[in-house]
Amino acid sequence: MVSIGMDIGSVCAKAVAFDEKIIGRLIMSTGWNPRQTAEELYERLVSENGVKKGEISSIVATGYGRVSVPFASKKVTEITCHAKGAAYLDPDARTVIDVGGQDSKVISIDEKGSVLEFMMNDKCAAGTGRFLQVMANVLETEVDQLDALASNSAPRDINSMCAVFAESEVISLLSQGTSKEAVASGILHSISNKIIHMTSRITIREKVLFTGGVASNNMIREIISKKLKCHVLTHKDSQYAGAIGAAIIGYNR
């Protein structure tokens, strides 16, 4: 029987079909109507991967928009789902750093993917993908271009801890003639430092797996690795960790 996991995030909605292994995955923008997005995501996942609805045993929803999935058979917190998903992606992982569009979290897990302790930042955009999105707009570039833009430049310090004030600070630096490259490097160092500050509140146990959309940024991953003095890994399916965990929880039921 097939289990469907759906992670309805603030920026992107992810879905995974699971039957002993991942048999389908899909991602799309959440948009302004999470319920409508969830319905479209489900229908596309099923049709594009040849899954028959009669074979589906459960649909588990997670993420901030999980309440917007009325057809879900179960709704589970994202901390639990990200832990399970990370353990599937890398069975040796013992710490998960997840940076999404609206929040960031650090989770310590055991060999079964159960949560030992966690710390979550959902009050401020400064350590999230939203911060990068705002900064990329100021620099007139795309989030996925920040890595390349900053790669060969020394960082210019971004001192503001608040995303709103940091935006004003970046605008000021650019008006003073600071290069976009130096500012981009400063932005990536700034968000990395905020992530590191969060990790200091729990016990970091190796291996460390970096998940979420921001995990695709190599420079941020390298900075975090250097600060933590350990190798931080990622996975090609890192952005699907929550949906994978949700699907596995449904499958194991």
- What local confidence, expressed as pLDDT, does residue 248 receive? 98
Buried b (16+ CB within 10 A) or exposed e, 20-45: eebebbbbeebeeebeebbeebbeeb
- Dihedral of CA 12/17/22/23: which sign? negative
- What local confidence, expressed as pLDDT, does residue 109 receive? 98
Q: Are 253 and 68 in contact (CB under 8 A)?
A: no
- Supply the pTM of this predicted model: 0.93
Q: Average pLDDT in the 22-32 region?
A: 96
- Least-confidence region, from 129-133, 147-151, 242-246: 129-133
Q: Average pLDDT in the 164-186 region?
A: 94
Would the pLDDT of 124 be above 90?
no
Distance CA 99, CA 212 (A): 5
Q: Average pLDDT in the 244-251 region?
A: 98
Q: Average pLDDT in the 157-163 region?
A: 83
DSSP β-ladder status, 74-75 and 95-99: unpaired
- What local confidence, expressed as pLDDT, does residue 8 receive? 97
- What local confidence, expressed as pLDDT, does residue 122 receive? 63
Q: Which of 102, 76, 84, 98 is nearest to 9 (CA)?
A: 102
Ranked by mean pLDDT, the top range of 85-89, 119-123, 156-160, 200-204 is: 85-89
Helix (H) or strand (E) holding 224: helix 218-228
Q: Could you tell me the pLDDT band of residue 163, with boundaries at 50, 70 and 90?
A: confident
Percent pLDDT > 90 in the chain is 84
Would the pLDDT of 202 be above 80?
yes
Burial degree of 50 (CB within 10 A; 0-12, 13-18, 19+)? exposed
- What local confidence, expressed as pLDDT, does residue 30 receive? 95
Q: Average pLDDT in the 81-101 region?
A: 96
Would the pLDDT of 72 be above 80?
yes
Q: Average pLDDT in the 134-159 region?
A: 92
Distance CA 71, CA 60 (A): 9
- What local confidence, expressed as pLDDT, does residue 47 receive? 97
Which DSSP category does 249 fall into?
H
Q: Which of 96, 13, 19, 26 is nearest to 55 (CA)?
A: 19
Q: Are 246 and 5 in contact (CB under 8 A)?
A: yes
Distance CA 152, CA 158 (A): 18
Of residues 233 and 126, more confidently modeled:
233
Would the pLDDT of 123 be above 70?
no
- What local confidence, expressed as pLDDT, does residue 164 receive? 82
Question: How many CA atoms, within 13 angstroms, populate the side-chain half-sphere of residue 135?
Answer: 36
- List, in order of start, the domains of the chain with CATH numbers: 1-90+240-253 (3.30.420.40), 92-234 (3.30.420.40)
Which DSSP category does 105 fall into?
E
Write phi, then psi, for 188 (nearest 5 degrees): -70, -35
